[in-house]
Amino acid sequence: MKRLASATLTAFLLVVQAFIGVPASAAQAQPGPDAPNRLRLDIDEMNPRLLVSTSSTLTVSGKVTNTGDRRITDVQVRLQFGERQTTSRQLGEALAEAPPTDAAITKYADVAKVVEPGQTVPLQITVPLGGDAKPLVSKPGVYPLLVNVNGTPEFGGQARLAAFSMLLPVLGVPGQSAPAKPERPTELSVLWPIADTRPRVVAAPFGGTLVLSDDQLAIDLAPGGRLDALVTAAKNVKGETRLFDSMCFAIDPDLLETVEKMAGGYLVRTADGGQAPGRGNETATRWLTSLRQVLQDSCTLQLPYADADLPALAKVTDGDPRLAKTAVDNTSLFERLLGVKPLPGVLWPNGGLDSTTLGALADARVTTVLAESDQLVSNRPLTAPATIEGTNLRGVALDPLLSRSMAANRPANGVAAANLTPADDPDVAAQNALAVLAFQTGAQSDTGGSPLLLAPPRRWSAPVDELTLLLRTIGDYANLGMVSSKPLLEELAKPVKGTAKMDYGAKEAPAELPQQVVGSLNQTERETADFGSSLTGDATTQVEPEDLIKPIRSGLMRASSTAWRADTAGALASAGDARGQLDSLRGQVTVETPKQQISLASDTSPLPVTLKNSLPVGVTVRINLNNFTGLRPEQIPDRPLPARGSVPHLIQAEALRTGHFSVDVSLSTPGGTPLGAPARMELNSTQFGLITLIVTIVAGAALLLLSGRRIYRRVRGKDRA
């Protein structure tokens, strides 16, 4: 364990006072809500991570850094323990908000007499356990633990300047006899998600070079990186215990596709809008090879492509299920890149699903949906798969407490969290999960011995040592008779018992993608569908229209990713990237007009244009004239263009007047989607058109008639005189 937390808190002090039970004298020493941050707490080691009957000491060590502009004196640290958690509800509340930790408090240990601004000093506290030491815990169970750092800022009073709360599993009270093993172990399966923190593909054109928004993926794939840690930790425990047999790897197809293309060379978008070569070619190849080795003879399932928000996709496509089907079925990609076949029909969406999406999934050959038990509402414990009401789908419940224990509890408004927990710090992200798992599988559990599905958050970030610790500790729990590893496939194969309703409502609504994002994607999807319908395969190039359209639809799924739920700007930028790929294809079908002015020698002189198609497939175009008040064009038929071909075309039109004027020529699909950019044609007409000539003759005849009549009346008037 390297780093536990960064906690320099002002707002934290008042919240901790309310929730952690600060004594009155200490409460009076807290700085006001507008006081500046003073200390950052980093914990490098906590040993042991769980207590057993033979534990003799508990040591926490790390460092504190003065991040303010004032000297801090008399810096001290102590540990504070809360009451034993006795119910799942109580434990869930402890994960959401720091509970009181005044049930047992250790003595202060000195850290430093003086810490100057910018200075870092080591921190360590060792607490004796068992023997003649004062008992800090009374029974096996799970206890809240707070690391509390106090000090006195210059020109201020003594105050709590940094703190960090977590849950401590106690499998046996130090100094007492070891407790009896549970009557029967709890069946446990582990889902191991492997996905990027967000989509990064800007463009991946057919036959072109991959372009990424940044090169962070190269860092994450390299040794020590986030994605490398997920693979390496699994490799570390492979073959050690039956635990590995219970693991099922949930992998994002978009990540696989992106890494494959990175290995072949790619570009990265720079801050100035340019592009530079990426640095992760070899890293991508190495990581993909390591993943392939780990997955041999292992359970695998596919996440939605780019972790797409499936209800949002249904809105993007106006209820058309085709894109949702594409998002959930990428079996061929797994077989080609990893040599494995994912569990057929099994889907793990990120959140609840509405009725429209559930119907689309049934059409996509999905048979089983994994969801947290608070999303699958049932009047009975979900100890086996249940039928989702209104569908033929099976629902399998994940344990929500385990998932929540590994998820960072950050406010939606972006304000820094007042209570820092292990999930906020990658280096101890597993601590609360180990505690919750100990609770769920221990004698005090109120879950009724139901099977457990442990599923870390999709974008969980932890170093390899911490991930390996989590998996090996689960193996230790198995050795103690607390859990028994069960392959996910066996859990899914259980007979269906009862029904459950998929709850999609108040919880999911705030997380939905904004309407402006959905509207932008909907427009791109409609134009993509129309553009695709105008394309035809070409026998010479052996390219199918779908080859060109697929990258755009992949971009739509990336822009619908659940990663953008709290990032509207990122979602709009990703939607713009998907639109950019469509615009790039449309821009390859163009019209060119003569550079010189065209003189119309007769009233029906044709207008020459050149139609160019740089796409590797054929396309049918419609020629449109705009600003043509000086012409009357004939009806122009739609024109098919060959792949990578250039075709001259004559537009038949009649001049309606003489003089100089211009006409704008543009192309579109037969359905109206614009193609390329308009071109302007300059014309000079010296001929009357037929209608103009007729009008002129009629006008001249009328003028002649009126003039003759006027002369006749004058002559007749003179004769009478």
- Give residue-wise pLDDT tens across range 659-708: 788 889 999 999 999 999 999 988 887 755 444 545 556 666 667 777 76
Tell me the pLDDT band of 354, cut-offs 50, 70 and 90. Answer: confident
Q: What is the pLDDT of residue 627?
A: 80
Q: Are 553 and 205 contacting, i.e. CB atoms less than 8 angstroms apart? A: no
715 is written with which tokens? 């002559």
- With b for 16 or more beta-carbon neighbours within 10 A and e for fewer, the 183-194 pattern comes to eebbbbbbbbbb
Quote the percentage of the chain above a pLDDT of 70.
Answer: 86
Mean pLDDT computed over 271-292: 95
Q: What is the pLDDT of residue 554?
A: 96
**Burial class, 297, CB count within 10 angstroms (exposed 0-12 / middle 13-18 / buried 19+):** exposed
**pLDDT tens digits for range 592-629:** 999 888 877 665 678 899 999 999 999 999 999 988 77
Mean pLDDT computed over 224-232: 96
Q: Higher confidence at residue 304 or residue 410?
A: 304
Mean pLDDT computed over 306-334: 89
**Burial class, 436, CB count within 10 angstroms (exposed 0-12 / middle 13-18 / buried 19+):** buried
SS3 558: helix
Q: Which amino acid is at 68?
A: G
- Across 156-170, 209-223, 317-331, the highest mean pLDDT is recorded for 209-223
SS3 271: coil
Tell me the pLDDT band of 411, cut-offs 50, 70 and 90. Answer: very low
Strands (E), 392-474: 394-398, 452-454
Specify which residues 153 forms β-bridges with: 72
- Across 72-81, 478-487, 710-719, the highest mean pLDDT is recorded for 72-81
* pLDDT above 60: residue 564: yes
- Spatial neighbors of 420 by CB under 8 A, at least 6 apart, are 5, 6, 7, 9, 12, 163, 164, 165
Q: What is the pLDDT of residue 426?
A: 67
Q: Write out the H or E segment, with its range, that includes residue 24.
A: helix 24-27
- Spatial neighbors of 213 by CB under 8 A, at least 6 apart, are 200, 201, 202, 268, 269, 577
Strand 368-372 relative to strand 376-377, pairing? unpaired
Question: Lowest-confidence range among 24-28, 351-355, 369-373?
Answer: 24-28
- Dist. CA 396–CA 385, nearest whole Å: 5
Q: What is the pLDDT of residue 705?
A: 73
Q: What is the pLDDT of residue 530?
A: 96
**pLDDT tens digits for range 93-141:** 988 888 889 999 999 999 999 999 999 999 999 999 988 788 899 999 9
Q: Are 635 and 654 contacting, i.e. CB atoms less than 8 angstroms apart? A: no
* pLDDT above 60: residue 186: yes
Q: What is the pLDDT of residue 7?
A: 36
- Dist. CA 48–CA 56, nearest whole Å: 10
Q: Are 603 and 655 contacting, i.e. CB atoms less than 8 angstroms apart? A: yes
Tell me the pLDDT band of 227, cut-offs 50, 70 and 90. Answer: very high
Strand 483-485 relative to strand 346-347, pairing? unpaired
Mean pLDDT computed over 570-584: 96
- Spatial neighbors of 25 by CB under 8 A, at least 6 apart, are none
SS3 12: helix
* pLDDT above 90: residue 234: yes
- Dist. CA 647–CA 608, nearest whole Å: 11
Q: Which residue has the tokens 């989702």?
A: 388
Q: At what angle do helices 281-294 and 331-338 cross, to 10 degrees?
A: 100
* pLDDT above 50: residue 451: yes
Q: What is the pLDDT of residue 447?
A: 55
Q: What is the pLDDT of residue 443?
A: 56
SS3 645: strand
* pLDDT above 80: residue 410: no
DSSP code string of 525-555: HHHHHHHHHTEE-BTTTTB-HHHHHHHHHHH
Q: Are 616 and 643 contacting, i.e. CB atoms less than 8 angstroms apart? A: yes
Q: What is the pLDDT of residue 686?
A: 74
Q: What is the pLDDT of residue 21?
A: 32
- Across 180-184, 481-485, 580-584, 630-634, the highest mean pLDDT is recorded for 580-584
Mean pLDDT computed over 461-477: 91
Strands (E), 368-457: 368-372, 376-377, 386-388, 394-398, 452-454
Q: What is the pLDDT of residue 6?
A: 36
Average pLDDT of the chain, as a whole number: 85
Tell me the pLDDT band of 2, cut-offs 50, 70 and 90. Answer: very low
Q: Write out the H or E segment, with its range, that includes residue 105.
A: strand 104-105
Strand 159-170 relative to strand 141-153, pairing? antiparallel
Quote the percentage of the chain above a pLDDT of 90.
Answer: 53
Instruction: Compute the residue count for the chain.
Output: 721
- CB count within 10 Å of CB 55 equals 18
- CB count within 10 Å of CB 573 equals 14
- Dist. CA 397–CA 373, nearest whole Å: 5
- Dist. CA 202–CA 204, nearest whole Å: 7
- Dist. CA 695–CA 677, nearest whole Å: 37
DSSP, res 102:
-
Angle at CA of residue 434, ends 431 and 438, nearest 5°: 145
Specify which residues 370 forms β-bridges with: 396
Tell me the pLDDT band of 580, cut-offs 50, 70 and 90. Answer: very high
* pLDDT above 90: residue 581: yes
SS3 404: helix
Q: Are 174 and 130 contacting, i.e. CB atoms less than 8 angstroms apart? A: yes
Mean pLDDT computed over 531-556: 95
Q: What is the pLDDT of residue 416?
A: 37
Q: What is the pLDDT of residue 688?
A: 52
Q: Higher confidence at residue 536 or residue 603?
A: 536
* pLDDT above 50: residue 26: no
